[in-house]
Amino acid sequence: MVRTAVLVSGGGTNLEALLAAEEHGLMPSVHIDLVVADREAYALERARNHGRKGVLIDRKALGMRRFSEKLMETLRENGIQLVILAGFLSILPQSVVDGYRDRIINIHPSLIPSFCGKGFYGLKVHEAALERGVRITGATVHLVNEIPDGGRILIQKAVEVREGDTPEVLQKRVMEEAEWKILPEAAEMIAEEIENESR
Ligand code: GAR
């Protein structure tokens, strides 16, 4: 099994979906060994509730340089092979992008290239989609490189926008119908690649 870290900043519903998928045998190649938060986050409690190691590496308190060093050190110390960004709001340090080339995936709550890149995260993405009046939105899992939301697309899933949707209602539908499904699927896909390479 591939030793995996999930990086979070918030509520952690995607983390919960990953833990459930692993525990129900839907990601046989993935083992979540570590959850890292860059700020106080409820996701850390979810990790502990599932008996997983949860670590807070506080970006604001440490400053970017120490944060980057500490994050890389923690991933290495735990023998992490695959990194999943699940609602992680910090820019990932270059050392991590370099050290885990093609081994970092991110979930984004739109159909990239729509509503993505700098400044588009969380509810802002759904506000922008509603503002533009799109009838279809969705979620994307992609590999992470130095361009925000710019790495190779792995899986996308479309979700309908309905009359009267608020950003909150749309966010919930995108999570339920797309994010919580395609993130475990993509994690398993990359983990299988890693396992095949080391055979
Ligand atoms: C999710 O909708 C995720 O796609 C989004 O933040 C939310 C985190 O929710 N990520 C981004 O916008 C990244 N650009 P969660 O903490 O409940 O998983």
Please write the tens of the pLDDT for every residue from 34-86. 999 999 999 999 999 999 999 999 999 999 999 999 999 999 999 999 999 99
Q: Give me the pLDDT at residue 160, please.
A: 98
* pLDDT exceeds cutoff 90 at 199: no
> Which CB contacts under 8 angstroms, 24+ apart, belong to 115-118?
116/140, 116/148, 116/149, 117/148, 117/149, 117/150, 118/148
Tokens of 2: 């591939």
Please write the tens of the pLDDT for every residue from 171-194. 999 999 999 999 999 999 999 999
Summary mean pLDDT of the chain: 97
* pLDDT exceeds cutoff 90 at 6: yes
Domain positions in the chain are 2-197
Please write the tens of the pLDDT for every residue from 109-133. 999 999 999 999 999 999 999 999 9
* pLDDT exceeds cutoff 90 at 148: yes
Pocket of ligand 1 (CB under 6 A): 8, 10-14, 43, 86-87, 107-109, 121-122, 125, 175, 179
Tokens of 57: 């590496």
Let me know: does 85 contact 7? Beta carbons within 8 Å: yes
In terms of CATH architecture, what is 2-197? Answer: 3-Layer(aba) Sandwich (3.40)
Q: Which atom of ligand 1 is nearest to the CA of 8?
A: 16
31 among known catalytic residues: no
Give the pTM: 0.98
